A and B are shown apart, each in its own frame.
Chain A
């Protein structure tokens, strides 16, 4: 690997990087003294750094390939550690108990700030799981998922503002309204797939946001709705810390319910139909699956979860405005699904934690935060394009001698 050709290539790459980063790394304008500083030493650091980084990456790739080749020759099925844990019920139960108890004592150990971040992460887990039904299982690329999130949030905000309805009453209503919005979006896009579907859903997401922004009488426009009630706890007034903790436990329970339901859906007749639809639409119809119904159910169920999380979002922040529901939000949720591994529940959970918690804990790097974050995303897609945890198809146990 240290051939002349490799070294030349690496040198060229580092030169290219020096050139690319030249404007931000080398030139610095000092507005006070009105001079330009040329930090040539930075260019050298970048060049040398990239030179060695590339060798490191090549070395890791090489080692990975060799290891895989060795495995293939040994004819052993390579299994990621998580898959082997799932396959072993004893280990699985231990892991679940540990995770659950950690989740339970978390707000007692860590500060309110940490708990708050965790609530956000949990919200994105549920959003990711909802989108996973649409994108991961049914293979319908939906770029306007945030619209349903907005429908949920505004349902709670408006019903609370006008009619004084409480959190628990609106939670199912918000979910169902979002589900209905999913149905409404579903009808016109039934014939579309792939890129075309992505564009239409993107447009739908923007429409919802623009309506909320401009229809002042209905949604109070860009200034948003404030003073939304926090979730009620049997009529008892909770302190701010108490209500954050309370919300945290609501989120934990909601996440567990979501995982349970999505898991069951995935292993059902309906889940199989979704995956078949993703694999081959024509064959799917020829096997007697009603494309229309299956797609609509996927859209609507995915939207339902977004609506539920929307209600919680409104209750958490007590203030919402259309700025919370931009395309970026949809993109983040989609990244969670893709990064985690399409169709894989555990993958989506891990993806959500990484994508939401990483930027938070990278605050230490302040201005380089987004740079590091972007780098990690690129690295992820280079080294594991199938996502963190690829989905394992269920195998069925049955009496083979019948």
Chain B
């Protein structure tokens, strides 16, 4: 087996006396769609926040290994922007777009960490800056096309429909050219039609070889998309495996439906 892109071992996160994550292990390989599921409050979003550097975990390691024999990096202790630079990009459970910026600009922000122009370049608009700017616009636009929002490029992000905002977040995250894309409940609040579109979109992105780690509550979506599933409850991993195994796992059923009192 190849080395996974992201290998999380023993990740622990304490908030005061509360242990939100308890020695969690997880790994994602190249080209895989891995889902992380669990009841509300299980610690899934906390996990995302730890991996992306928004929270500093109490313990454990998160090793990112870029494909092609590059050196591994431990993401622990890095700032969110550095984590993104190293190759993790995420979306948010409650949409966090730049609402007063246009749709295209939102995606252009995603290119920030892959470009370099600074004060000097901005003021004098050097040849290199102009070229870079052109590349940013072109790449952003092609990403918008990919998620089906190209016709709304000049609209303010806040004016988009809910489903479109979700897709814009994905496009923005993809603009950072991530090794691993983290999606935090992308289908939350979507109607069946939108969910179906989203499923097609995620499939399309994954077919290009993009590794994806997904938090989702929609079981139908999770079961049909994922290569592997991790199940969490109370900050602990309670199961892992391919969808068929998870469906049959008594621990998982217990976590979701509760225990039979007579048993």
Contacts and interface: CB of A to CB of B under 8 A. Distances in A.
Interface string B76-114: 000111001100011010001111111011001110111
Contacts, number: 122
Contacts of B133: 268-269
Interface in A35-70: none
Given A265-B119, A269-B117, A270-B117, A279 B98 contact: yes
Given A393-B101, A400-B141, A273 B96 contact: no
Given A279-B99, A289-B81, A402-B142, A284 B109 contact: yes
A399 B145 CA distance: 13
Nearest to B100: A279
A309 interface: no
Contacts of A273: 109, 112
Nearest to B150: A400
Which applies to chain B's interface (DSSP): helix, strand, loop or mixed? Answer: helix
B85 to A, nearest CB: 5
Nearest to A267: B122
A274 B142 CA distance: 24
B119 A301 contact: yes
Nearest to B134: A398
B156 interface: yes
B203 interface: no
A247 interface: no
Contacts of A287: 81, 84, 89, 109-110, 112-113, 172-173, 176
Contacts of A290: 79, 81
A274 to B, nearest CB: 11
A402 B135 CA distance: 12
B179 to A, nearest CB: 13
A33 interface: no
Interface string A284-299: 1111111100000100
A200 interface: no
B98 A280 contact: yes
Interface in A245-281: 261, 264-265, 268-273, 275-276, 279-280
Contact of A271 (B122, B142, B154, B173): B122
Nearest to A290: B81
Contacts of A291: 81
B136 interface: yes
A234 interface: no
A393 B102 contact: yes
B52 interface: yes
Instruction: Report whether over half of chain A's contact residues are helix, strand or loop; otherwise say mixed.
Output: helix
A272 B102 CA distance: 11
A402 B132 CA distance: 17
B121 interface: yes
B15 interface: no
Contacts of B99: 279
B113 A289 contact: yes
B80 A264 contact: no
B115 interface: yes
Residue of B80, B132, B142 contacting most chain A CB atoms (<10 Å):
B80
A274 B109 CA distance: 10
A289 B112 contact: yes
Contact of B81 (A270, A272, A275, A285): A285
A110 interface: no
B248 interface: no
B238 interface: no
Nearest to A289: B112
B137 A396 contact: yes
Interface string B128-162: 01001110111001100000001001101000000
Contact of A288 (B81, B97, B118): B81
A283 interface: yes
B205 interface: no
Contacts of A286: 52, 54, 80-81, 84, 89-90, 92, 96
A3 interface: no
B119 A297 contact: yes
Contacts of B90: 286
A395 to B, nearest CB: 5
Given A269-B133, A301-B119, A393 B105 contact: yes
Given A270-B118, A276-B98, A402-B142, A282 B112 contact: no
Contacts of B141: 398, 400, 402
Given A287-B112, A289-B81, A395-B102, 20 more contacts: A264-B125, A268-B121, A269-B122, A270-B117, A270-B119, A275-B100, A282-B92, A285-B80, A286-B54, A287-B81, A287-B110, A288-B89, A288-B113, A289-B113, A290-B81, A393-B100, A393-B105, A395-B154, A398-B138, A399-B138
Top 4 closest A-B pairs, CB basis? Answer: A288-B113, A268-B122, A288-B84, A283-B96
24 contacts: A265-B123, A268-B121, A268-B129, A269-B118, A269-B132, A270-B117, A270-B118, A270-B119, A270-B122, A272-B108, A275-B98, A275-B100, A275-B101, A283-B96, A285-B80, A285-B81, A286-B92, A288-B85, A288-B176, A291-B81, A297-B119, A301-B119, A393-B156, A398-B141
